[in-house]
Every structure is written in C-alpha cells, then in structure tokens.
Structure 1
Amino acid sequence: MKRVLVLAGTSQARELIGAMPEGVEVTASLAGVTRTPVDLGCATRVGGFGGVDGLVAYLRAERIDILVDATHPFATQMTRQAASAAAETGVAHVILQREGWTPEAGDDWRFVNEFDEVAGIVPEGCTVFLGTGRQTLEQFANMSGRRLLCRVIDPPQRDFPFAGGQFVVGRPPFSIEEEVAFFTRESVDWLVVKNAGGARSRSKLDAARQLGLPVVMQRRPALPDAPVVRSVADCLAWLAAQG
C-alpha cells in the first residue's frame, strides 16, 4: 500500500484527498493557521515539521512513499522545504498548484513582486481591501494615510498591527454579488491580492471589474525544480504513474 503525505490547506488538496483511489493510505498535513479547519476525512496532522530536517525525519519515520505539495501558491517556505526533503529522502514528489489568474477585458491590474511596492501605487486617503491574509499585514506598515480592511476567517485575538486598519470576519466562498455589496458598503477604492488562482476566490476580482476598481496583484514566487501539475485530475494521473 502506498503511503502518501499531502501538504494541504487548499480546496485542491481537499478534492484530491476525496478522490484518492483504493490502495493508498493518505495523511494530510495542515499548517494550523485556521483554528477550525474543515474535516478532510483522513488522518490529519496539524503544525509545522521543524524545517527541512524535521520533514525528512517525518518522511522516514512514517515510511512515506509520495509527497504531494498542495499548499497555497504563496506558501513559499513550505514548498521549498518539501522539495529539499523529497530530494534528500528520495521520496517521489509533485507540486499541485492551480493556474494563476490573468486579466480580462475591463480589468485594471497593477503587478508587483513585493507588497512594500503598494504604497507607491495606491494614493493616500484611499480605502484599501487587503485580500492577502493576516500573515501579510506587517508588510503594509508603510501604508499610513490609507484605511486598510483585512478579511479573516476566525475572529482576531489581537488588534490590527498598526493604525488605520480594521479586521472583517467572514468565511469564503463569497459570491460576486456579496463582494460588490461589501466593497460598496465599505467604500473600497483599491484591492490588493495575491495571484492565488482558482474559481472560489475569483469573485472579488469579478466584483472589482464590475465596480471599476483597480487591483494591485502580487506575482507568484518561482517554484523549485519539481514536477508540477495544475489540476486534481492531472495529479491523480501522476500518482497512478508512480506504480
């Protein structure tokens, strides 16, 4: 029986785990960012491994045959650690990462590599929706003079890290109509997002297009040297080819 470790936390990971064929023993690993994660229907561990050495030790101790990195496209550290650990242990390794978004007619997108570039694009006095997650907030400390909104799944246990910011609690997915209503109610002028890809979170971009709002889009980081598949179907085919 093949033993597969899925580095999870995305809708693609959930879909993949639910579609695993017989003869595969799956363990999912979650970073532990969300306090009430969705039940994945398989053995699940929560928390970090302790770097590359910790992941190497886990892969060996649990006799993992295949490592699937289905983390968020911007989980850069985990993706690099997974590639290094797989190379060190000889475990078969694949990255499941959905296609990124591309602008369509009517979109007004400005691309950046790092969030510290946003202050040079968004004028002071604007209300800015940060669709980037609470882990990124420290990168917007140079955005004084703007009202910042950050949506989070769990009620925050700490105040916004600097003046001018506000948390909004909500659990995705959100429809285009819900996003239009939210942006209108909060008088949002700009959106800042990561190029996460996927249909579930595309609605905020569709709402921005409908309202004529400009978007600052962070480009994806480069991937390590490893096989990459873009869909669950392709990942299942890759797994089947491992014998």
Structure 2
Amino acid sequence: MKPRPSIYIPELESFIDSSLVYKPNPIFSEMETYAKEKNIPIVTAATGAVLSHLLSLLKPSQVLELGTGLGYSTLWMAVGSPNSQFVTVDRHEEQAALLDEYAKKMGIWEQIHVKRITASVMDYLQENREEWIQSDLFFVDCDKITYPDIFRILWKDAKPGASFLFDNMLWHGRVLHPDPKKPSDLAVMSLWDEVKSQVFRYTLYPVGDGLLFFQKDKK
C-alpha cells in the first residue's frame, strides 16, 4: 500500500498521535509500528481514541465492524466498551487473526467479547442478515468502493436508534477535488450524497482521515 497524504499540515498528525493521544495500553503503539512496517492500513491513534470514547458513552450491546485489519480499531472500541459483543468481518484471515494475539498481549483477551468472521464484507451482509440486523452500532472501514452499497443495506435494515461510524470520509483530502476517474473518490462522494439526503443529523469528527457519525431515528 503506497503512503496516503494526511489531511493535516506536515508532521502535525504524527505529533498528535505520538504526543497528544492517551493510549490505555502500550500494545497500541506496538500495533502502530507493525502496521507501518507491513503497510497495513489502520485508523490513527486519535481516531481510535474517539472510537473508544464514543463507545464508552453509547455502550452498544452488539457492534458490527466491517474491515478488521489487524484489530487495532476493534481493540480501541473494546477497551471503551468491554461489555459489548463485537463481530468483525474481514476476508484476510491471517492478518485479522493478529487481533487475538494483540488482545492476549494486552491482557484483555478474557474480558472482551469478539467474534471474527472471515468473509467478503458484501457476502456477509447479504448472507447473514439475521445475525447483524440487531446490531446497535456499525463501524465501517473497508473497501471504499463498497461504501454506498453498504450504507444502503445497513440504513434500510438496521433497527431504529442504531449508530453508524464510517472512517476515511475526508479521503486524504480528496473530497475537496475528487478525481472522476477514481472509483474510490466517486464512492466516498456518493456516500456523502446519500448521507446528506437521508440522514437528519450527522457529525464529522476531523480526526485521522475523517470519522463520520450518525444515528437512525428512533420510531
């Protein structure tokens, strides 16, 4: 994976993540180093901290994460809400399995509740509706090209009051000048159009690459 530009002025984002984010466990820094060495995309430390804080307030019973990576965001969320049940989906089994090892290193493996699924995100959503439909919170951080389709599926079937988080909604600053030849640029802009036309209230947290939060109205 080639390096992606930050939305921040040079060196500010790395300073935020290294010096201004409280990390409840030193293993998070170890995971960041590994991800950088192996070119594995993960959320920034600042984004992880916001995820953890939001889940500590929302206290969802069941969370569906689409895109496990190496489990960095999963563990941030689990630290914030250790009583939540997490289902995390990724097609890369070997990489996603690192989540288990890092949770054991943190000493929280026995306290958290995480079920990993190895599958295509779209296949999982289409074939396991009864499993995920009762989720209270959805965190989406997978292939950006799938974002509009994922939104349509989840928004239609999620229960009233469910919360949604989509990462990379500033798409490395390319939302300012999207390239019409790049499917990922078009997909992110399409999701913005969907959200702005269908969601009553939404909040963009300008951390990392842009974290979008909204909820489905309660009926």
TM bin (shorter chain): 0.3 to 0.5
Larger Rg: 1
Q: Which has the higher strand share?
A: 1
TM-score (norm. length: structure 1): 0.40
Q: Which has the higher helix share?
A: 2
